[in-house]
A and B are shown apart, each in its own frame.
Chain A
Amino acid sequence: MPSLHDVQHWLLTVMTTPGGAERGAMLARQTNGLTVAGMIHASRIADPMRRLGVYADGYLLRLYDCLATDYPMLRRVMGEEVFGFFARAYLWECPSHSPTLYDLGEGFPAFLSQHRPPQTDATDGTWLLPAELARFERAWLEAMRDHGPERVQHQALTASPWTSVSATHWEIPPCVRLLDLKLPLIPFWQVMVTSDDIAACPQPENSLVAISRMHYRVSAHPLADWQYSMLDALRQGCDVHQASQRVATRDMPKERVLADWMLWAPAAQELGLVTTRS
């Protein structure tokens, strides 16, 4: 009589082995000597392999559907066949270890990046697009679920902006995602969401993007270098003076950073990129 652990390990092997239940059953037999005939109760309605196939087929289809739902734009761009190839490979290499399907696709962008065909042209956006678009879509999904600015009591900036900026504690809502992309994806994304056509692949170009949420609506915003760095510094716990010090360069001294921050901060607040507290 096999132990509970052995029974479960056997079924999981049958279900999750690449190639389906038949190959899984062979592997499971080689691994622990347990056979389908010895493990599964026989009956007239369906044979044991058919029954195991329900679980094996369901395993892959279910998790594939999850990835396809998490990465709809990527699926459109790659096409069903190519997306399916990488999705199945990912599921086999990175099975879920989380109680929630929300976590399943977390590693997919990195997986795509690691499995870019060797010797591809780094200046060709086509090869960069899958991983970069996956990063963008994952960030979008995360922005939908994390704590947003909706329940924060906003402090309006006063008529004395310098005093207000200095006295204000700026916070980055947890849902905000800052992306340093290798492709300018916002124009690409905008074409994709407003058209059934596949937008032309953008040429490689560093692109700084913030994905934020306001009133439960997610949106993406291009950022200048100093804006990205300010938000990043504030997220790490700096106050606005420390952040501006960190961001300052020879071409953009701290005072200029603070002045530009003062001008941009109300707009950033409206976009959900920052919240304020006295």
Chain B
Amino acid sequence: MTAPRLGLPNLGFGVGLRNAHLDHILRHGPGVDWFEIISENFIGHHGYARHALDRIRAQVPVVMHGVSMSIGSADPLDRTYLAKLKQLAEDIEPVWISDHLCWTGVAGINAHDLLPLPLDEPTYQHVRQRVEAVQELLQRPLVLENPSSYLQFACSPMAECDFLARLARETGCGLLLDVNNVYVSSHNHGFDPEHYIRQLPPEHIVQIHLAGPSDTGDLLIDTHDQPVPARVWQLYVLAQQRCGADASSNGAVSTLLEWDANIPSYPELLAELDKARQALHGDIVAPAIDANATAMSSGYSTPIAFQLKEEHAVAP
């Protein structure tokens, strides 16, 4: 166990909690060190999934990961949403709360996508002020994730890594470094992913995301529907090393595997997560992106299977 970052512990190795796995987890145990839930799935949810979450969080820590804070929107902060988020946090006591450096809508419309920001000084000041407001409201550091993106605005003089690094240093927010998103965006925009990771202040990185994208021939799409490719494992090891991990450790920062479409069985998911431990010990066994799997992919950005309802009939 390494020193806490921003007072937040290294939780070890976890996976995103998905409805498809709830029964297995309740019957056979978590099999992981911790879970990440999608906050919006549980706001106002008092059914089986919430019942399962209450049982699971009695066994292992949980963190809340949101997709609708819209921290970069030109609209005012959604105080109703934030109040519900805070209430959920009071109810389930997550170790931390995260969301994305993005906007999800404007003029009251929610696109339910993690949309890229123009990275300029006015946007920076806007986001900075909102991060501070959210942290004041939640009374804890907000943890922000770098999103995958498929376009860059012409009016963006700042690199995303510089924007995030400055934001972390000036607001004290944490960073959720999604190395798959770094890989996807670096391919789509032609930047060096290792440089991106090295630009981020390691003392602010409290979590790392892993996932598998789809290769559509030109752009990579962040589909979370297949195994983590070799290049992402390499970036993962680099990120852990930057945060202080060595070959004999189990990582310096909490690791979380996301899988949101074509979801495998829970044992298969855990086998994929185990590759993270192997990678930290110098053993990266991973394919390039599977072209067959990509052909089966829905191919759209920001998968939402995790946000959709559970099956109608569920085991108690």
Q: Which residues of B contact A104 (CB under 8 A)?
A: 112
Q: Which residues of B contact A101 (CB under 8 A)?
A: 40, 112, 304, 307-308
Shortest C-beta distance, A195 to chain B (Å), equals 15
Number of interface residues of B (CB under 8 A): 60
Q: Assess whether A99 is in contact with B51, with CB atoms less than 8 Å apart.
A: no
Q: Assess whether B106 is in contact with A9, with CB atoms less than 8 Å apart.
A: yes
Q: Assess whether B308 is in contact with A69, with CB atoms less than 8 Å apart.
A: yes
Say yes or no for A62: interface residue by CB 8 A criterion. Answer: yes
**Smallest CB-CB separation from A173: which chain B residue?**
B46
Say yes or no for A159: interface residue by CB 8 A criterion. Answer: no
- As a 0/1 sequence over residues 16 to 41 of chain B, the CB contacts with chain A under 8 angstroms (1 = contact) are 00000000000000000000000010
How distant is the Cα of A16 from the Cα of B46 in the complex, in angstroms?
Answer: 32
Shortest C-beta distance, A45 to chain B (Å), equals 6
Say yes or no for B246: interface residue by CB 8 A criterion. Answer: no
Q: A11-B115, A39-B154, A145-B44 are in contact. Are A97 and B109 (CB under 8 A)?
A: yes
Q: Which residues of B contact A61 (CB under 8 A)?
A: 298, 300
How distant is the Cα of A1 from the Cα of B40 in the complex, in angstroms?
Answer: 34
Q: Assess whether A99 is in contact with B190, with CB atoms less than 8 Å apart.
A: no
Q: Assess whether A12 is in contact with B111, with CB atoms less than 8 Å apart.
A: yes
CB within 8 Å of B: which A18-50 residues: 38-41, 43-46, 48, 50
How distant is the Cα of A10 from the Cα of B266 in the complex, in angstroms?
Answer: 42
**Smallest CB-CB separation from B187: which chain A residue?**
A45
How distant is the Cα of A44 from the Cα of B218 in the complex, in angstroms?
Answer: 10
CB within 8 Å of A: which B36-67 residues: 40, 43-48, 51
Say yes or no for A15: interface residue by CB 8 A criterion. Answer: yes
- Interface residue range, chain A: 35 or more
Q: Assess whether A147 is in contact with B304, with CB atoms less than 8 Å apart.
A: no
Q: Which residues of A contact B218 (CB under 8 A)?
A: 45-46, 50
Shortest C-beta distance, A3 to chain B (Å), equals 7
Shortest C-beta distance, B213 to chain A (Å), equals 12
Q: Give the interface centre of A8, A16, A213 by most chain B CB atoms within 10 Å.
A: A8
Shortest C-beta distance, B129 to chain A (Å), equals 12
Q: Assess whether B190 is in contact with A95, with CB atoms less than 8 Å apart.
A: no
Q: Assess whether B109 is in contact with A145, with CB atoms less than 8 Å apart.
A: no
Q: A2-B155, A9-B106 are in contact. Are A140 and B312 (CB under 8 A)?
A: yes
Q: Assess whether B113 is in contact with A51, with CB atoms less than 8 Å apart.
A: no
Q: Assess whether A66 is in contact with B150, with CB atoms less than 8 Å apart.
A: no
Q: Assess whether B156 is in contact with A41, with CB atoms less than 8 Å apart.
A: yes
Shortest C-beta distance, A206 to chain B (Å), equals 25
Q: Which residues of B contact A147 (CB under 8 A)?
A: 46
Shortest C-beta distance, A90 to chain B (Å), equals 14
Shortest C-beta distance, A50 to chain B (Å), equals 7
Binds A, one of B1-9, B119-127, B158-166, B234-242: B119-127
**Smallest CB-CB separation from A72: which chain B residue?**
B312
How distant is the Cα of A206 from the Cα of B105 in the complex, in angstroms?
Answer: 42
How distant is the Cα of A39 from the Cα of B155 in the complex, in angstroms?
Answer: 7
**Smallest CB-CB separation from A146: which chain B residue?**
B46
CB within 8 Å of B: which A158-216 residues: 174-175, 213, 215-216
Q: Which residues of B contact A54 (CB under 8 A)?
A: 150-151, 219, 221, 300-301
Binds A, one of B73-81, B171-179, B249-257: B73-81
Q: Assess whether B219 is in contact with A41, with CB atoms less than 8 Å apart.
A: no
**Smallest CB-CB separation from B303: which chain A residue?**
A62
Query: B-contacting residues of A (Cβ < 8 Å)?
Result: 1-5, 7-9, 11-12, 15-16, 38-41, 43-46, 48, 50-52, 54-55, 57-59, 61-63, 65-66, 69-70, 95-102, 104, 140-141, 144-148, 150, 174-175, 213, 215-218
The 7 closest A-B pairs by CB, nearest first: A58-B300, A99-B68, A5-B74, A51-B151, A216-B48, A8-B106, A41-B152
20 A-B pairs in the complex with CB atoms less than 8 angstroms apart: A7-B155, A8-B115, A38-B154, A40-B152, A41-B154, A46-B219, A48-B151, A54-B221, A57-B300, A61-B298, A61-B300, A69-B309, A95-B109, A97-B109, A98-B110, A99-B68, A99-B110, A100-B307, A216-B51, A218-B313
